[in-house]
Amino acid sequence: LDSSTPFKLMIITSLETFILHVPVTRNHISDSTHSITHWGMPGVRIFTDEGFTGYGFTGTHAHLASDRLITDCISNCYAELLIGQEASDISLLWERLAYYPPLQWVGRAGITKMALAAVDIALWDIKSKASNEPLWKTLGGSEKNKVEAYNTDGGWLNFSTQMLVDDVLRLTEVDGYKSIKMKVGKPDHSEDLQRVEAVRNAVGSGVRIMTDANGRWRMPEALSVASKLKDYDVTWIEEPLWHDDVRGHKDFADAIETPVALGEMLYSLAHFEEFISSQAVHYVQPDATRLGGITETLEVSNVAYEANLPVTPHAGDMAQTQIHLSISHPGIELLEFIPWIKDCFIEPLEIRSGYFDFPKNSGAGTTLTEEAMSKYGKKVS
């Protein structure tokens, strides 16, 4: 797909940022390093002279001050580079924003990349709306490419073992999921293994179990716990060590049998290339809301695919946008899903028997309802 080829001249006339804070399920959730009550959605609406409006957003822990840094970056740094430009020329606009010299001095990751992600997603939303088709078709996807969902929302670390088991059984026996993820990283490492064992005994051998330490462990404890995960047929251990530690993940991956997954805290194609070339990762987890949007996520997915590694995107967007690139990419068969924000959209994601439905509406699936904007909106400044 050549995203730089214009199909219709559309000029960006203005943009408007927003911040939504949407409640999570059951009042609050925790993993090994975070505890939150809301999911943040700093984002942007981009308007064109042809009447098309693109919606894009990133995902945060709903910390208003840092969310405003993201929307400030869009309004005060990116807006002047976008207004008056052709909306359909996504590759050119991406490079214009990503390599803008003043911003390279203050950040090539984090805030600037998350702001770029929101803009890029909004531009793809415009492009596919103008083509009158869902984004997965604009990206070359086919209805032959079914994508399985794995659910993370039943596996939080603050759940008791009984609540964990009950939720996993609900997801698998009632909702039809064939893959679930649970958090690990308890202070008592034996409790992690007891919880994994309880879940495996509950769901039997026909369900995939993934585990996620959220970067909590140091090497000795990581090896101590993760070396035993093979006994419970765990599909992967995610983020066992600090996120930027390439050498540590390589040594860890060499030492245990359970595959390593990571990527949600990586902000560039170059960073992914370093992990992949070092053979420090087995399941590659790009996130379009942390990278520079759909454009860079597709590049990461291509690099992983060429290295014969499966791509299983992390869902900072709760999969609302990334289902489209997942359908379109041959390296993606499995996508994370958490249901917190799905009812904020005109066309919420639907999952049947563990697989995503194909979105039908034109666009990237990011168009928000006015009710959600009103109910969950925060002041951007």
Which positions are catalytic? Answer: 183, 314
Residues 313 and 145: their CA atoms lie apart, in Å, by 16
Give the start-end residues of each E strand in the chain.
Answer: 12-23, 29-30, 35-36, 38-48, 53-57, 148-151, 179-183, 208-212, 234-238, 260-262, 283-284, 334-337, 351-352, 355-356, 377-378
Torsion, Cα of 236, 239, 240, 242 (10° steps): 160
Phi, psi at 191, each rounded to 5°: -65, -35
Partner residues linked to 209 by β-bridges: 180, 234
Question: Which residues fall within 8 angstroms of residue 172, CB to CB, at 6 or more apart?
Answer: 178, 180, 203, 207
3-state SS, residue 50? coil
What is the full DSSP assignment across 117-167?
HHHHHHHHHHHHHHTTSBHHHHTT--TT---EEEE-TT--TTS-HHHHHHH
Q: Are 281 and 275 in contact (CB under 8 A)?
A: yes
Q: Are 374 and 352 in contact (CB under 8 A)?
A: no
CA 182 vs. chain centroid, Å, equals 17
Q: Between vectors from CA 113 to CA 108 and to CA 119, what angle results, nearest 5°?
A: 140
Q: What is the DSSP letter of 352?
A: E
* CA neighbor of 286 nearest in space, from 304, 264, 255, 256: 264
Residues 19 and 188: their CA atoms lie apart, in Å, by 37
Residues 293 and 5: their CA atoms lie apart, in Å, by 19
Structure-token pair, residue 327: 């359908």
